[in-house]
Amino acid sequence: MATTSQAADVRPAPAGTPGPAPSGQRAPTPRHDGDVVGLGRARAVAFVAPAMVLVAVFLVFPAAWTLYLGLLDYSLTGSGAKAPTFVGLGNYTAALSDPAFAKSLYLTLLFVGGSAVLGQNVLGFFLAWYFRTASRVARTTLNVLVLLAWILPGSVVAFLWQALLDRRNGTLNALLGTTDMAWAIDHPMAVIIIFNIWRGTAFSMLLYTAALGTVPRSHLEVARMAGAGSWQQLRDVVLPTVKRHILTNTLLITLWTFNDFSPYLLTGGGPNNESEILPVYIYKEAIIGGHLGYGSAISLLLLIANLVIAVLYIRLLRTRDSEAA
């Protein structure tokens, strides 16, 4: 947001030079008043206002509302729905001392770490790396297959996976020749982790394909001439170049996975809460159990966890920036 400070004199800016970097003769001296676009304060505010209203209505207000609900013993039914009472931080202390919450948090970290940070990231990178030199046909086929997993609607995909993993007539059991393996019940966490890797790798793959395109061929050429093997090229030339992409990608998929609800469609959080990641836990507490106040409190904790992750990554990105500068 560059429109926040004084707006003394208003001059229309020359078209197409928003950046502070003056390019040759075209731009006059950089402005001192911070009014880089040259709209003037009133007009700038008018331009930003709709976005700000949207942010306020759809982000700030719900967050504040959640914060407020988290302080009540508000529930979906019963007398707690009619006249909720103020319980202060009761919901938060209850959540933090509840072993079910701790377990759910642990499962979430496992899920995010296994499926996003490691699974999607690594698999996406290596698919991009190994297929960058493959034939056009092979690359297109791979793209179609991987993208398909990504763009199919979640409910459809869940149905397919249920058919795959079904205990009695499942495809997987037929392929492996195993009988009576209830995959989603016997290995719930493994199932949802693999499911999420399968489902989300496309994004990482696409991002890394684009990123690898930015590695200058000449650098690789030089490295090869200097006798670097495939692994050394990867480690010393490619990875340093795409580091920022890796961080950005990891940030995005971490946040998405943290809030992902689709495992519920596969395991329902079961058996006996063995795959109850936080979004599922919140759903079960708030909607099924009807404890809206408690659910709001955990939602806010989830929001804070998300913010912490985001801030950590952005810090990391900043340090990269200053190193690069």
Partner 1 sequence: MRLSPRATLLVSGLAASALLSGCVGAKSAEDSSDPSANADAKDVTLVINANDIVGGKNSAEATWITEKVIPGFVAAQKAKGVTAKVTFNGAGVEDEQYKTKLELNLKTGSGSDVFAADGIWLGELASAGYVKPLDDVVGAAAKGWDGWSQISKAVQQNLTFKDQLYGIPNGTDGRVLYFNKKLFAQAGLPADWQPTSWADILAAGQALKKVKGVTPIQINAGVPMGEATTAQGFLPLLAGTGKPLYDDSSAKWQGETQGVKDVLGFYQQIYGSGLGDPRMQQDKAGRDQSFAEFSKGKIGILAEGDYFWRSVICPSKDDCATTSMADRDDVVGWAKIPAKQPGAGVNGQDFVSVSGGSGWMLNPKTKYPQQAWELMAFMASKEMQTELSKAQIRVSARGDVNSETLKNDPLLSFISSEILPLTTYRPSDEKYNEVSLAIQQATADVVGGASPDKAAQTFKASLEKAVGGDHVAGS
Judged by the rule CB under 8 A, the positions of this chain that interact with partner 1 are 1, 3-4, 45, 48-49, 52-53, 55-57, 60-61, 64-65, 68-69, 72, 74-84, 167, 182, 184-186, 267-268, 270-272, 287-290
Using the 8-state DSSP alphabet, how is residue 295 labeled? H
> Judged by CB, which is closer to partner 1: 134, or 176?
176
In angstroms, give the least distance from the CB of 158 to partner 1. 11
Q: How many residues does the chain have?
A: 325
| Residue among 33 and 246 whose Cβ is closer to partner 1 | 33
How far is the first Cα of the chain from the last one, in angstroms, to the nearest whole number? 22
**For residues 84 and 113, which CB has a smaller minimum distance to partner 1 in the complex?**
84
* Cβ neighbourhood burial of 276 (10 Å; 0-12, 13-18, 19+): buried
What does the alpha-carbon distance between residue 319 and residue 325 come to, in Å, rounded to a whole number? 10
Q: How far is the CB of 19 from partner 1 (least distance, A)?
A: 22
- Supply φ then ψ for residue 86, to 5 degrees: -80, 125
Q: Which is nearer to partner 1, 157 or 238 (CB)?
A: 157
Cβ at position 52, least distance to partner 1 in Å: 5
| Smallest distance, partner 1 to C-beta of residue 301, A | 19
User: 3-state SS of 79-144?
Assistant: HHHHCCCECCCHHHHHHHHCHHHHHHHHHHHHHHHHHHHHHHHHHHHHHHHHHCCCCHHHHHHHHH
Minimal distance in Å, beta carbon 311 to partner 1? 18
Take residue 166 and report the two structure tokens written for it: 């079904």
DSSP three-state, residue 231: helix
Of 32 and 82, CB closest to partner 1: 82
Residue closer to partner 1, measured from CB, 53 or 102: 53
d(CA 109, CA 44): 42
Closest CB 166 distance from partner 1, rounded Å: 10
The answer to whether residues 209 and 238 touch, using CB atoms and an 8 Å cutoff, is no
In angstroms, what is the minimal distance from the CB of 315 to partner 1?
22
Q: What Å distances lie between residue 186 and 176, 191, 238, CA to CA?
A: 16, 9, 40
Secondary structure of residue 72 in the 3-state scheme: strand
Could you please report the per-residue DSSP string of 270-282?
-STTTT--HHHHH
Continuous H helices in 17-59: 41-55
Q: How many CB atoms lie within 10 A of CB 89?
A: 12
The least distance separating partner 1 from the CB of residue 70, rounded to whole angstroms, comes to 12
| Nearer Cβ to partner 1 (72/207) | 72
- Of 119 and 188, nearer to partner 1 (C-beta) is 188
CB of 268 to partner 1, least distance (A): 4
Which C-beta is closer to partner 1: that of 73 or that of 247? 73
